[in-house]
Copies of this chain bind each other. A is one copy, B any other.
């Protein structure tokens, strides 16, 4: 079953610094963008606390969703012109799929709320399920707009996002190792952070992408463009997504919300109405849609005046960018963590709220791993004779990268523990003891005997 939309009398064009313009030709697309549920994405940052490290990174999920839509629209346009299907199962593109692909692209992240990762962890929400609900629940403007196309259209769109839509070409366009989603966020995050490493030749990628019976792949004259895209992705992970201070502020946020739950349960806490429903564990979709970054930060600001010292302090730390310090931890040194927590406790900090041990594997990004659970979404290069070869078999560079992305484990703690005694403080001896275990940003064992030897030798 295929879906058609009314065309707009005049195309609408939104200025976008990454793609130039977002072109809107279908009435349903414009209506979706103008819906309450979509407009709300303007108030949710794409990269959460990353703007604390890269000040330009204030871009929102609103723009990213527009960008994914635009790339999908361009791919559909190219596919419809260059690879039009002429008979069933010829492995080419049926332009009747354009509308469902574009709507799914636009709405693929519609379920996200503020600080999704952390919020979901603490309040048991799930942005994918909520996304499906926003699309299929009759109460939403989005559902009503989609239903005007056809009663079954909302379900079709939702199934693309859930990867259960029958046509794998449509699914892979939105969700695979080189999909419109990743292409947009890498370019966009690079643009707004100012990190030049993230750029790659998107015009070229759009020229060499093509459909095949199992999904989408790339023609072999585009191998180097795909390789460049993979390298850019690797660099963005190393430079931006896994940045230590970024991760540190995620920890602060996590502890702050944890403490807020504790204080709310055990005493009084002033909270704005919609967030209160989540603390009461009694929320509806409408409450979820009332949340955004500003609501969360407004609560943090209010909590600075709550009587609870830990909550007030953590709120200030998040609002005014006072990240925890951190050091890397490995298999061997992980055993030292309890000892360090003791020092931190002695220095007056509750270790439950002022320390954390996390690894970058917790991050919501998945790197290029052709094997394992993402195997089905690996990148294929089509040879002249139509056979497909997986990218890392052709590119030694990509092969090398597959082995190099590794999560690093980090221990987070109050920065004051690293303070030097140029401004003497009461806990100085404690700090000095603590600092013996941290060198060059890594946790390490003290090697007293070796030192003694060294001193003797001098």
Q: A residues touching B (Cβ–Cβ < 8 Å)?
A: 13-18, 20-21, 34-36, 39-40, 42-43, 51-52, 54-56, 58-60, 62-63, 66, 191-197, 199-201, 203-204, 207, 224, 227-228, 231, 234-235, 238-239, 270, 272-274, 290, 292-298, 301-302, 305, 316, 319-321, 383-385, 396-397, 399-401, 403-404, 440
- Which residues of B have CB within 8 Å of A62? 55
Contacts A39-B321, A400-B400 supplied; 13 other A-B pairs, CB < 8 Å:
A15-B193, A16-B56, A17-B193, A17-B194, A21-B204, A42-B51, A42-B55, A56-B59, A199-B199, A270-B273, A290-B301, A292-B294, A294-B298
How far apart are A374's CB and chain B's nearest CB, in angstroms?
20
Q: Are B228 and A197 in contact (CB under 8 A)?
A: yes
Q: Are A274 and B301 in contact (CB under 8 A)?
A: yes
- Which residues of B have CB within 8 Å of A403? 396
For the complex of A and B, 5 pairs with smallest distance between CB atoms: A294-B294, A400-B400, A17-B194, A396-B404, A298-B298
How far apart are A396's CB and chain B's nearest CB, in angstroms?
4
Most buried by B among A51, A60, A298: A298
How far apart are A189's CB and chain B's nearest CB, in angstroms?
11
Q: Are B228 and A36 in contact (CB under 8 A)?
A: no
How far apart are A276's CB and chain B's nearest CB, in angstroms?
11
Q: CA separation between A319 and B35, bound complex, in Å?
A: 11
Q: Are B224 and A397 in contact (CB under 8 A)?
A: no
- Which residues of B have CB within 8 Å of A270? 273
Q: Would A295 and B290 be within 8 Å (CB), given that A17-B194, A404-B397 are in contact?
A: no
- Which residues of B have CB within 8 Å of A301? 274, 290, 292, 295
How far apart are A101's CB and chain B's nearest CB, in angstroms?
20
- Give 7 pairs: A residue, B residue, CB < 8 Å, sorted on A: A14-B55, A15-B55, A17-B191, A18-B194, A293-B294, A295-B301, A298-B298
How far apart are A300's CB and chain B's nearest CB, in angstroms?
9
Across the two chains, which residue of chain B brings its CB closest to A37? B320
Q: Are B238 and A207 in contact (CB under 8 A)?
A: no
Across the two chains, which residue of chain B brings its CB closest to A238? B224
Q: CA separation between A237 and B201, bound complex, in Å?
A: 17
- Which residues of B have CB within 8 Å of A298? 272, 294-295, 298
Q: CA separation between A273 and B301, bound complex, in Å?
A: 10
Q: Are A292 and B297 in contact (CB under 8 A)?
A: yes
8 Å CB contact of A43 from B34, B42, B297, B316: B297
- Which residues of B have CB within 8 Å of A34? 320-321
Q: Are B63 and A55 in contact (CB under 8 A)?
A: yes
How far apart are A26's CB and chain B's nearest CB, in angstroms?
15
How far apart are A203's CB and chain B's nearest CB, in angstroms?
5
Q: CA separation between A199 and B59, bound complex, in Å?
A: 20
Q: Are B440 and A384 in contact (CB under 8 A)?
A: yes
Q: Are B66 and A20 in contact (CB under 8 A)?
A: no
- Which residues of B have CB within 8 Å of A196? 199-201
8 Å CB contact of A440 from B58, B199, B234, B383: B383
Q: CA separation between A207 and B58, bound complex, in Å?
A: 26
Q: CA separation between A385 and B440, bound complex, in Å?
A: 9
Q: Are A195 and B54 in contact (CB under 8 A)?
A: no
Q: Are B294 and A16 in contact (CB under 8 A)?
A: no
8 Å CB contact of A302 from B193, B228, B272: B272
Across the two chains, which residue of chain B brings its CB closest to A33? B321
How far apart are A81's CB and chain B's nearest CB, in angstroms?
10
Q: CA separation between A18 and B397, bound complex, in Å?
A: 28
Most buried by B among A199, A297, A301: A301
Q: CA separation between A278 and B224, bound complex, in Å?
A: 42
Q: CA separation between A399 and B397, bound complex, in Å?
A: 10
Q: Are B201 and A197 in contact (CB under 8 A)?
A: yes
Q: CA separation between A239 and B201, bound complex, in Å?
A: 13
Q: Are A17 and B235 in contact (CB under 8 A)?
A: no
- Which residues of B have CB within 8 Å of A396? 400, 403-404
